[in-house]
């Protein structure tokens, strides 16, 4: 199981997600917090599970998500 950040937007009955997928719940949570700090439309965020493959990791030192290059995904 993998994780995504879900943005809560007025008028939507479920979290809105994109194609960014993390290996851990903690990464998805922190990515959601970071995104919420830059966006004005969402009023909250949550973490949702997905079967989609992991394609991002969260860089806690720089506090931002990073794309995992194709060769790195197999090693992740």
User: Residue 15 has what pLDDT?
Assistant: 97
Establish if 41 belongs to a structural domain: yes
User: How many domains does the chain divide into?
Assistant: 1
User: Residue 70 has what pLDDT?
Assistant: 78
Ranges in the chain, pLDDT < 70: 73-76
Establish if 76 belongs to a structural domain: no
Establish if 75 belongs to a structural domain: no
pTM here?
A: 0.88
Establish if 62 belongs to a structural domain: yes
Evaluate whether 23 touches 3 at the Cβ level (below 8 Å): yes
Establish if 23 belongs to a structural domain: yes
User: Residue 73 has what pLDDT?
Assistant: 60
User: Residue 21 has what pLDDT?
Assistant: 98
Q: Which long-range contacts (CB under 8 A, 24 or more apart) does 62-66 make?
A: 63/30, 63/34, 64/34, 65/20, 65/22, 65/27, 65/31, 65/34
Establish if 45 belongs to a structural domain: yes
The domain containing residue 28 runs over which residues? 2-70
């Amino acid at each position: 199981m993998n994780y995504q950040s879900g943005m809560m937007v007025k008028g939507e009955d479920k979290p809105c997600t994109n194609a960014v997928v993390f290996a851990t719940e903690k990464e998805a949570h922190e990515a959601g917090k970071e995104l919420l700090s830059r966006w004005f439309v969402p009023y909250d965020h949550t973490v949702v599970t997905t079967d989609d493959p992991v394609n991002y990791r969260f860089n806690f030192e720089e506090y931002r998500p990073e794309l995992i290059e194709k060769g790195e995904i197999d090693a992740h």
